[in-house]
Structure 1
Amino acid sequence: MVFPFTAMVANQSVDDVAHIIQVALTPVFMLSGIGTLLNLFNTRLARVSDHLEAIAEHQDGLRAGPDPADAAAPAMLLRHSRRLHQRVVMLDMSIGLGAVGGAATCGAALVLFLGSLRNAGAGSWLVLLFGVALVCTMGALAAFIGDSLLAWHGLRMEGPLPRSGSGHAK
């Protein structure tokens, strides 16, 4: 019994098959980098979420019994909350674009592999998928830079949240 895959590679030398595998695995390195970026973006998003929860606790503490020494606290917490929501949007964009870039990279690897096996005209698909992967990855990094700028600007303009010693949660 001959499998269809065996028939596709029967006329190719070991060197040809090894080259096909090398070419198809090249995008996997890009995929590994995108996976690392997605991990970074998700970690940042979790930290921003933690900060949003801390702000909600601060706001609850102010509603329960406002501290006269913290008269400016509600306005500061509102500004901080708005900035964190902007960061969530930027990080969501980073994650979404990174995921599309990773999927396009997988598609490019598949097209490379199948195109090499079948000697088909897969060039236009390859250029399209790899181009989408690169553009999405660049977009993800641009959105991440936007998140970083929002974070840095917030620290310079507003400073850190008050610590629990002033009656607020951490």
Structure 2
Amino acid sequence: MNLHLGNIGQIIQLAIAPVFLLTGVGTNLTVLTNRLARIIDRSRVLEEIVGQQGAESLTPIMRIELDELYQRSHLINRAITLSSTCALLVCLVIAALFLGDALDIHLDKIIAALFVAAVFALIGSFIFFLREIFVATKTLRRQREHGARFLP
């Protein structure tokens, strides 16, 4: 195991791009978790009405909204899972860069495969995020058509 200062510098330079990707994924996770929190808050308001007034107090429109909130939460959960997977894969890329250099092992194909898998996970996350946005805007459009929010 021969680590030289020059080699470490080169590896750090190589690791910068994945680190920037990791920063972007972290920001994406923040956005996704904030959206999930809003979905959960809105679901709790609807479920509290059911708990206080009974299931018959929910109007058909409120039931549709509750179903859409559950659908949105599942989509966001999938997006969060894929973003987290992407972050883990990027961390493995960075670790493999250093291990490959430190142990003088050729991990180039593994590193490339991990990076491509990370990018595909990120693409999947964005697809689920986009689907969630479509469901949310459909709900918003329905609310506008009915003149107000479903609940006070």
1:8 aligns with 2:6: no
Amino acid at match of 1:162: L
The offset of 1:161, in angstroms, is 2.4
Where do 1:109-148 residues align within 5 Å? 109-148=94-133
Matched pairs, number: 148
Matched, 1:39 2:33: no
1:91 aligned residue (63, 76, 84)? 76
Q: 1:59, 1:74 within 8 Å by CA — same for their partners in 2?
A: no
Aligned partners of 2:28, 2:55: CA distance in 1, in Å? 41
Contact persistence 2:7–2:101 (CA under 8 A): no
Mapped contact 1:59–1:77 kept (Cα < 8 A):
no
Corresponding residue to 2:14 among 23, 30, 53: 23
Distance 1:39 1:20 in 2: 29
| Residues 61, 111 of structure 1: alpha-carbon distance in 2 compared, 3 angstrom cutoff | same
* Equivalent AA in structure 2 for residue 161 of structure 1: F
Stretches of structure 1 lacking an aligned partner (at least 5 in a row)? 1-6, 67-72, 164-170
TM-score by length of structure 1 reads 0.79
- Counting aligned pairs with the same residue, the percent is 25
Q: Choose from 58, 81, 88 the match for 2:66.
A: 81
1:34–1:98 contact (8 Å) kept in structure 2: yes
The reply on whether 1:57 has 2:48 as its aligned counterpart is yes
- Rounded to whole Å, the distance in 1 between the matches of 2:114 and 2:90 is 7
Give the AA of the match of 1:122.
Answer: L
Indicate if the aligned counterparts of 2:43 and 2:69 stay in contact, CA closer than 8 A. Answer: yes
TM-score (norm 2): 0.87
**91-100 or 52-61, which deviates more:** 52-61
Structure 2 residues not aligned, in runs of 5+: none
Structure 1 or 2, whichever has the larger Rg, is 1
